[in-house]
Structure 1
Amino acid sequence: MKEQLNLPDNAVGSAIVNEEVMDVLDSQLELVKSPKKLLLMKHIHQEALPPVDKSVLPLGHSYFELIESKMADLETMAFSKEELQYPFYGVMEQHELIAVGGYHIYSEDYVELGNIGTDVRWRRQGYGKKICAELTRAGRRVTSNVYLNVLEENTGAISLYQSIGYELMCSQYMVEFVI
């Protein structure tokens, strides 16, 4: 496959896999670094969503450069330009995007929140929760299957997600491997 795709010798692939697949792949792949454990969470409790906050705005095409710049600043690990086609929401303060979030997947069968972040100077003020709540609402208008992945060590984010109605479904691993 490497030859067919004309990939360089240092090409790296990545995937998110469940625990059973991880056990199989672990012995078959040359890992670039230790796999990161992720928790897959699903939105279950609609009643836990806080009231709509008017400071959270839908961000259209005119915001794409600003979103892309903010995603780079926040070093989101799974963001791709293609994901800009999905809805994004954000909070603006004095013409600056201070909090933003969007989706990795957005279809009538499955929605996965991602690309969520708050500028370091604005953290711990509830903006992440507002963004996540609006993303969840928008996702629930499309499907009842609204999910997100979070690093196991990110206990603050896990607590936030639980506070707005998410429950743990399973553990997964983010794997980077030599192709």
Structure 2
Amino acid sequence: MNPIQTTSASMSARAIRLAVVGLVGASTLWMAGCSSVKLDDKAPPIESRNVSGSTGTSSSSNAASTVAPVVAADADAGANAALSGLPRVIYFDFDSFVVKDEFRPVLDGYGKVLTTIRSKKLFIEGHTDERGGREYNLALGQKRAEAVVKSLTLLGVSADQVEAVSFGEERPAVTGSTEEAWAKNRRAEFKDR
């Protein structure tokens, strides 16, 4: 190895050592600075200042004050509270997807809440009893859910707030093969989305 190459190699090694020492030193200083902060202490109060930009006398004093945190109201919580008084299920006649007149006040209530709180979204689940074929019941459940969605959109609810879903006979509310059980299974349910 010639003398120029040796000098170059020793200078590169020296530069690397200096860089490592500098990095370790900087890390040590940074860690020392972090250790002096007590996370459980409260921040000192912020002084109020006149920030109007004028150089004249200030009308406010430099009194100490604290800043209150801003808490945004949760729109979903308000919607859930408003919807909590409404029934979550409406029922249909056998082989029908026409919303009964007795459930119009329920739809009106959902319409009022959903038009007021546009961020609230719901699934409308359509269900049937066990009678009929699987495909037929899925189609009937979809028609029931869509009838509810259509009623809500006519009341001013945005179409992107409600979505129709059919489960047909797959999720019965009541098991059994009696007229009472079938009547409870012919339904549309309002579910959060």
TM-score bracket, shorter-length normalisation: under 0.3
Q: Greater helix share, 1 or 2? A: 2
Q: With a CA cutoff of 8 Å and minimum separation of 6, indicate the structure with the bigger relative contact order.
A: 1
* Higher Rg of the two aligned structures: 2
Higher strand share: 1
Could you state the TM-score of these two structures normalised by the residue count of structure 2? 0.25
Relative to the length of structure 1, the TM-score reads: 0.26
